[in-house]
Amino acid sequence: MSPEVIIYVTSDRNKDLDTKAVDLMKANAVISEVPAIKNDKIMTISYDELMDYGTSSINALEDINSFLNK
């Protein structure tokens, strides 16, 4: 797999790891040539923001769209 973009979804359950996850991905030599990592195309978004009811999930999708199209 060679994703051009990674969308990392954070959650309260993984709060300790979430703060370091993107940095750990960037520092991992095994995946350093993955296009998303090589080109710094990693977006983080909270689970609550993405999966909430109402307008926040729409806003989250708009944020993802903006990230994908920048």
For 18-38, what is the mean pLDDT? Answer: 93
For the chain, what is the domain count?
A: 1
Please state, rounded to an integer, the average pLDDT across all residues of the chain. Answer: 92
Whole domain around residue 19: which residue ranges? 6-68
pLDDT at site 54: 84
Domain membership flag for residue 53? yes
Domain membership flag for residue 17? yes
Domain membership flag for residue 1? no
For 6-22, what is the mean pLDDT? Answer: 89
* Side-chain-side CA neighbours of residue 19 (13 Å): 3
Tokens of 9: 């979804």
Domain membership flag for residue 30? yes
pLDDT at site 17: 86
pLDDT band at 1 (very low <50, low <70, confident <90, very high): confident
Domain membership flag for residue 21? yes
pLDDT band at 70 (very low <50, low <70, confident <90, very high): confident
